[in-house]
């Protein structure tokens, strides 16, 4: 399942842990990268926002972490 909420705002470590615990073994999440990185910053000067994104907890999904998805604006070259 795609976690789309992470596109609109940073989630919390507790939320990622909850999703991990509430789903059965073998369940896999795709985590969507924040629009702040792709649409607002347009991939420029993103060291801090990228660190904040990973610090918000997606890696806490552990074995249930699948791909990271990055949606770009339609007019981005």
- Is residue 42, in this structure, part of any structural domain at all? yes
- Is residue 41, in this structure, part of any structural domain at all? yes
pLDDT of residue 52: 98
- Is residue 29, in this structure, part of any structural domain at all? yes
pLDDT of residue 65: 98
Which of 54, 65, 52, 50 has its CA nearest to residue 19?
A: 65
- Is residue 7, in this structure, part of any structural domain at all? yes
- Is residue 77, in this structure, part of any structural domain at all? no
pTM of the model: 0.92
- Is residue 74, in this structure, part of any structural domain at all? no
Look at residue 77 and tell me whether its pLDDT is greater than 90.
no
CB of 53 closer than 8 Å to CB of 34: yes
pLDDT in tens, 30-49: 999 999 999 999 999 999 99
Report the first-to-last Cα separation within the chain, whole angstroms.
28
- Is residue 23, in this structure, part of any structural domain at all? yes
CB of 59 closer than 8 Å to CB of 65: yes
Question: Residue 25: which domain range?
Answer: 2-69
Give the span between the Cα atoms of 15 and 60, in whole angstroms: 10
- Is residue 21, in this structure, part of any structural domain at all? yes
Give the count of domains, the chain: 1
């Amino acid at each position: 399942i795609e976690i789309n909420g992470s596109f609109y705002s940073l989630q919390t470590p507790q939320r990622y842990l909850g999703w991990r615990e509430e789903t059965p073994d073998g369940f896999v999440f795709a985590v969507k990268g924040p629009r702040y990185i792709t649409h607002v910053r347009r991939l420029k000067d993103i060291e801090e926002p990228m660190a904040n994104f990973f610090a918000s907890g997606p890696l806490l999904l552990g074995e249930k972490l699948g791909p990271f998805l990055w949606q770009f604006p339609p007019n981005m070259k």
